[in-house]
Amino acid sequence: MHTKNISELAAGLRAGEYSSVELTRHFLERIRRLDGGLNSFISVCEDAALAMARAADERLQRGGAGPLTGIPIAHKDIFCTQGLKTSCGSRMLDNFIAPYDATVVERLKRAGAVTLGKTNMDEFAMGSSNETSFYGPVRNPWDGDAVPGGSSGGSAAAVAARLTPAATGTDTGGSIRQPAALCGVTGLKPTYGRVSRYGMIAFASSLDQGGPMTASAADAALVLQAMAGFDERDSTSAEQPVPDYGAELEHDLAGLRIGLPREYFGEGLDAAVAESVEEAVGEYRRLGAEVVDISLPNTHLAVPAYYVVAPAECSSNLARFDGVRYGHRCEDPKNLEDLYKRSRAGGFGDEVKRRILIGTYALSAGYYDAYYLKAQRIRHLISDDFKHAFDRVDVIMGPTTPGTAFRIGERTDDPVSMYLSDIYTIAANLAGLPGISIPVAPVDGKPVGLQIIGNYFAEARLLNVAHKYQQVTDWHTKAPEGYL
């Protein structure tokens, strides 16, 4: 059953070939048997999952079930889930039981999906390798000595290993697309505001966006259909109509204009990865698309601008974690100042502390104009680059990452090298644009991702473009040895 896509699983449920309880038990058994070597889950909610599966079976028997009714799914442990631990991969929230569901969780429950558990992640979504988690690193199912990418590495690894048909992730600077590329799955970052952030614990409020991680674009369309839409509880939610993503998958690509930014194919890109991406672009040419050379001249400023804006926002968002109301609290504090200092020092890991310090410095008196305000101006320049590009092309393509998955521990002592893992993904977050990563030809047995960036609220077009490629290739159907 784990080799089937979501549509096939749903068809089997409706035909009575198996029940949701049987399907859920199948995936729970795979998690028990296989996740010990991956560490992709922080918590598994077996009893709750089976109860949800039984409810889904009753709904299926009554008729009128939707495409996700009875389908197992996992949630990144950044989404609040009522009655379950929501840790954000941090010691700070190791004892936090969420009193409500995030909108994403709520909507997927309403669609009939069955929650298997919560996936591992970089602490507070700060990382590009899933090595900063309080619960230990996640391992890439294609190579157990390599990272899965981050921060949604647990979700990517779980989908790649077929431990779940789908998982949710969040993307602040590439944290859905980058691990999707390194694990060989499909990961979609929607337009900022397309998916509600209510109940999604904030890292950088102007950048964070939730999205689906699945085996294929067709599966991503089904999950996004349930996730997307306006939410009055989220002030950053976009009041835009949600199209039927599945209905638009089959549009012909004849006449599609693909932009290839010269800045994405220069120094720093692994030659074999470039060759794999160019081969995929060639497939699009055969499908009738036109390829146009374009320039995004401010691309080189994306990483430095991001690492001012994101830490500044994180320093504000994480100020609430002080040991007073919830979260980690130090023992026997002498006074309020001691409580704050020791609770935060003990609750946060090194990477989170680094970003809090950077962000607080950038926002401090005398440095706000020099750093934060200047970074926001650069952000506008980057948005303008994309605006001018989309006057000429329909989508932009390039590599998702500069190389394949690197070894665990290889970059932990070099934060700048780690940050450059997201060099091709960060700009879309700064501009608020949607992007998707899909698997293309691997390099030395390791997955490679093709990134496709679209204009605002063009998720349907991105899914269509990704789906048509996946109809004529089979890279998205591949699973790592030992997980078939």
Positions marked active-site: 76, 151, 175
Residue where the block lists tokens 């932990």: 412
- At 210, give phi and psi (nearest 5°): -85, 155
Cβ(347)–Cβ(321) below 8 Å: yes
Cβ neighbors of 465 (< 8 A, separation 6 or more) are 253, 256, 284, 395, 452
- Residue by residue, DSSP assigns 417-482 as HHHGGGTTTHHHHHHT--EEEEEEEEETTEEEEEEEE-STT-HHHHHHHHHHHHHH--GGG---TT
Reading the block at residue 85, the tokens are 């631990």
Of the candidates 136, 172, 143, the residue with the CA atom closest to the CA atom of residue 154: 136
DSSP conformation letters of 205-219 = TTT--EEEEESSHHH
How many C-beta neighbours within 10 Å does residue 385 have? 22
- φ and ψ of 86, to 5 deg: -125, 100
Angle subtended by helix axes 46-62 and 20-34, to nearest 10: 160
d(CA 345, CA 58) in angstroms, rounded, equals 49
DSSP string for 315-378: HHHGGG-SSSSSS---SS-SSHHHHHHHHHHHHS-HHHHHHHHHHHHHHSTTTIIIIIIHHHHH
- DSSP class of residue 144 equals T
Task: Show Cβ contacts of residue 197 under 8 Å, excluding neighbours closer than 6 positions.
Answer: 103, 205, 208, 209, 210, 234, 236, 237
First-to-final CA distance of the chain:
10
Residue 448 pairs with which residues in a beta bridge? 440
CB 431 within 8 A of CB 309: no
Q: Is the peptide bond before 87 cis (omega within 30 degrees of 0)?
A: no
Helix 103-110 to helix 217-227 angle (10° resolution) is 110
SS3 394: coil
The answer to whether 359 touches 313, Cβ cutoff 8 Å, is yes
Identify the H or E element spanning 44: strand 41-44
Whether residue 221 contacts residue 250, with contact meaning beta carbons closer than 8 Å, is answered with no
